[in-house]
């Protein structure tokens, strides 16, 4: 068993390529493998009777992708979109094969960073809301790791008529 652990550790990446995604009042940190693509903002197709956090659908690579407001889901107001706003399209995390992608609008252009274990640490004493996985510091900057699975689940619950 011990030799298997050592083998796994040998293949653990020393550096995790990630994106700093600007949002209203915070910056998200997400590994690049979780982001399918960053695209220019395009107004979504509205959905009648949708909750305020579900901004609508937008077409991406011939797929209708739900666009969710991370800020509204976190109990804040919808921020005004900026000229540099983008859409972050996240890959499915395995919650449901029926939802291959989910997306959120951003407040600007993301920045590529290389995360090294020595440069990142968990912020102690910070409680996380439902859609927040962890508060961290990366080279002294406070960042938020989003809970993409929770975003997928809230959409699926709404889509399937499950009361939240």
Lowest-confidence segment of 27-36, 52-61, 154-163 by average pLDDT: 154-163
Residue 5's pLDDT band (cuts 50, 70, 90): very low
- The domains of the chain, with CATH numbers, are 16-159 (2.40.50.180)
Cα 131 from Cα 137, distance rounded (Å): 18
| Ordered DSSP codes for 102-150 | EEEE-SS--EEEEEEGGGEEEPTTPPP-TTEEEEEEETTEEEEEE-HHH
Q: What is the pLDDT of residues 26-48, one digit of tens each?
A: 999 999 999 999 999 989 999 99
Q: What is the 3-state secondary structure (H, E, C) of 39-100?
A: EECCCCECCCCCCCCEEEEEEECCEEEEEECHHHHCCCCCCCCCCCCEEEEEECCCCCCCCC
Contact criterion met (CB below 8 Å) for 144 and 29: yes
Name which of 36, 48, 23, 25 is nearest 109 in CA terms.
Answer: 23
Q: What is the pLDDT of residues 114-137, one digit of tens each?
A: 998 888 888 887 777 889 999 999
Instruction: For residue 24, give the DSSP letter.
Output: T
Kind plus residue range of the DSSP H or E element containing 35: strand 35-40
Q: Does the predicted TM-score (pTM) go above 0.85?
A: yes
């Amino acid at each position: 068993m011990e030799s298997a652990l050592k083998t796994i550790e040998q293949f653990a990446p020393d550096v995790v390529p990630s994106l700093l995604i600007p949002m209203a009042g915070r910056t998200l940190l997400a590994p690049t493998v979780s982001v399918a693509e960053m695209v220019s903002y395009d107004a979504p197709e509205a959905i009648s009777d949708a909750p305020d956090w579900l901004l609508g659908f937008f077409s991406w690579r011939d797929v209708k992708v739900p666009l969710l407001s991370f800020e509204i889901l976190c109990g804040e107001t919808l921020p005004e979109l900026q000229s540099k706003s983008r859409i972050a399209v996240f890959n499915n995390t395995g919650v449901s094969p029926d939802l291959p992608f989910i997306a959120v609008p951003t407040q600007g252009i993301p920045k590529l960073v290389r995360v090294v274990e020595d440069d990142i640490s968990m912020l102690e004493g910070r409680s996380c809301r439902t859609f927040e996985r962890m508060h961290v510091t990366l080279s002294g900057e406070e960042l938020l790791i989003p809970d993409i699975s929770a975003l997928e689940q809230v959409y699926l619950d709404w889509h399937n008529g499950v009361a939240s």
